Structure 1
Amino acid sequence: MAKRRDRQPAVTPLSPCPCGLDATYGDCCGALHQGKAAATAEQLMRSRYTAFVVRDARYLLQTWSADTRPPTLNFADDVQWTGLEILTTTAGTPFHTEGTVEFQAHFTHNGTPETQQETSHFTRENGLWVYVKPLPDHESP
């Protein structure tokens, strides 16, 4: 008999948004996943985290810089995303062309709690915010 793995709970348009803002998925990150453009680098960061939660590889690849985008993206079955904290942002407003977002993404891996901390670099390509890459500690774009 096959061992059942715990799965990420289903996210519906009326579910609380996994990004942590006080909104439903449909009104928050779900709208971006359906084609609305992110207004800020932080909004894109939140929507990308949520795309990992709902396993939306299409959106993740679409919002990744053409210069650093991998050809494909796979999701680990033994990872469950459990929360996002935005620690700091630099620039990345509707009036900027670059920005950074430092965050902690919480998850469990094989049931063990873990945290990924990163400062991500974002830029605009064709007027839209895209993720470029993680920055090494103490580096700015």
Structure 2
Amino acid sequence: MGTLNINGRAVTVHVEPDMPLLWVLRCELGMTGTKFGCGVGICGACTVHLNDKAALACQTLMSSLNTQKITTIEGMQGAEAQALKAAWLDLDVVQCGYCQSAQLMAACALLKRTPNPTDADIDAAMSNIVCRCGTYPRVRAAIHQAAKRRPA
């Protein structure tokens, strides 16, 4: 059993301490915006924020969470989030959409710590490598556009 801070709400779950956060979110809480990709921490499809930093939910065990603030795509808010969502729409970034929640989460964490990222910053921060749609150039362009749009 444990109480988590998810998207600003206290949520109590009854799970084993070695259960990955990904499965707590998806199976126990029905929050399916966080996706399963590889399950071994390589693809990035399960990206969430832990204390405003991008983290892989498939590699985050319940026992490691303590009092960390968890944000999922369902709770992604703020100036960075709004600018990214608008840029994603403007530039038609989404194709199939499966990996978009993780890409938005990684991009939002990047903009929070690096307000004007370079291409190298973006490449290093984007954790999702499962996109078969090939939208990476548009993802990069959308992040640059969002960085310019957000209020100072």
Specify which structure has the bigger relative contact order, considering alpha-carbon pairs within 8 angstroms and separated by 6 or more residues: 2
Q: Which has the higher helix share?
A: 2
Structure (1/2) with the larger strand percentage: 1
